[in-house]
Structures are given as C-alpha cells and as structure tokens.
Amino acid sequence: MRSLSVLLFAALELGCAADNGALRDDPRFARLHQKKVLVVVTSHGQFGSKNRKTGYWLEEVSHFYYELERVGFEVDIVSPRGGTPPMDPKSADADDDINRAFVNNERARRKLANTMRPEEARAEDYVVVYFAGGHGAMWDFRENRSLATIAASVYERGGVVAAVCHGPSGLLGIKLSDGRDLIAGKKVTGFTNEEEGLLFLKSDVPFLLEDALEKTSGGHFVQAVFPFTSYAVVSERVVTGQNPMSTRATARAVIQTLRAIAEKDAARR
C-alpha cells in the first residue's frame, strides 16, 4: 500500500501536465523558481481547555504542497517551535488520495517530521509564505513576530503571502516597513464566525478570526454565500481561503498570482 501511495503521489505531481507543465518550463518562471515556497504549520496541539487534541489540518498542508511542487517549486515547512508539529487527528482522512500519498511520500514526510524553526528560514529564499490552518494556529500564529517578519519581508520583496482556514490568524500583526498592517484595506477571508458556530466552537477558541481580521487589522472580510464551500480571494498578492475545502482553490490562486508576477517581470525586461 505504501509503494502504491508513493506512485500515486508521483502521478499526481505529473497530473494536469498541459498548463502546469507549461508553468514549470516557462522561461518567464525561471527567476521565480530560483526561490522556494514556505509552508507554516502550527506547533499547538491542545484545544484550549477542552479535552481534545488539535494541530494543523492535514488537507491544508498536503493539497497546497502538492499543487506548488507540481509546478516546479521546492517547498519547505516551518513551525513556531520547529521539529514534529501536531496534526489534528480529525484531519487524517484516509479516503483523501492526496493526504494518503503525502504522508507516504518519504521527502514530504521527512520535511513535516523535521520542520524548521522560524530563525532557520531566510526570507530572501522564498517567493511565497503560506499559513496552513487547523485550530491550533489560533493559539500560536497571531502576533508571532518571527513569522510576521518573514512574511512581511517576502511580501515587500514582491512575493505572495497566503493563508487558508484558521491560517489567516498568522496575518494578524504583520506590519509593513511603513507601519501599515499587511491586510489593511485588502479583501481577506478565513474561517467564518458562522462556520465556527456550526461546529459549536465559538466559545472555545481564543478569538473569532473573522472579527479579528476585519476589526483588528483593517481587512475587508469576504466569504462564500454558503458555509463550508470552497472560496478564495486575491488582493494585492495576499491570497486567502475560507476553509479546508478552499485549499486547492487557494493554491491555484497563488499559482496564478505568481504567473502574473512572472509576466510583469518579463515585460519589464
């Protein structure tokens, strides 16, 4: 079964070859491919005072990793404390082919088992910083100065900052060099108050992400018409997705944003 999953992961990486193969080989992307993608996962594994484990949400890591690697980017993984981060056990969906292939892929598994600490990640090496969600992110992403500094630097170098579900808690407190909040005035999304309520968890999280993104950091919060449906939004190289179902849409929006950056860069030269 493991060898089958590894083969599946390789097949997925080669899938949709027409468009993504073109991106991988497009000379306009050569400069971007000199940089890497940094995925941020939580180190927090306890759901507040509840007798429940949490952590990163596997789909939000595996699907994003697959999409970006598939178009030629090397992907690194970092967490606030480094080492092996906790996975929310509820996210271990054995019926998800990409999840299963990801956890059985030796290279991906090694990176996830040995995540870097923030001080080991050099901002100049990356063109994308992506904050994966899972409820654990609500405890250790917000106001994390080391992660915020990396993300601000990548953005101000012309890169992309992205997040999905509870991952946008990592956007809170990111300040640009002129003192402005990264998301001030930008359209952003994330796990909504309604979705938190539908899970009966509004009183168990340290804050409500929708409120914080809009009221604390000045973002313009937008969301899908229906909860728990795929929804992603792009605003000035900030890409956010609403919930786990939005991970692939978020990844593809990041890729399209990178395409636009490459085309603009090529036009200037």
User: pLDDT for 38-66, tens place per residue?
Assistant: 999 999 999 987 789 999 999 999 999 99
**For the chain, what percent of residues have pLDDT higher than 90?**
78
> What is the reported pLDDT for 268?
77
User: Which residues make beta-bridge pairs with 175?
Assistant: 181
As a whole number of angstroms, the distance between CA 36 and CA 34 comes to 7
194: its two tokens: 């309604």
Domain carrying residue 48: 2-268
Mean pLDDT of the chain, nearest integer:
90
User: Which residues make beta-bridge pairs with 239?
Assistant: 162, 234
**For the chain, what percent of residues have pLDDT higher than 70?**
90
Which residues 6+ apart lie within 8 Å of 44 measured at CB?
54, 55, 80, 86, 136, 137, 138, 139, 140
pLDDT digits (tens, 9 = 90+) for 102-127: 989 999 999 999 999 999 999 999 99
Residue 145 CB neighbours (<10 A) = 11
State the residue for tokens 């539908």: 198
Indicate the number of domains in the chain.
1
> What is the reported pLDDT for 227?
97
- The CATH number of whichever domain residue 80 belongs to comes to 3.40.50.880
> What is the reported pLDDT for 20?
53
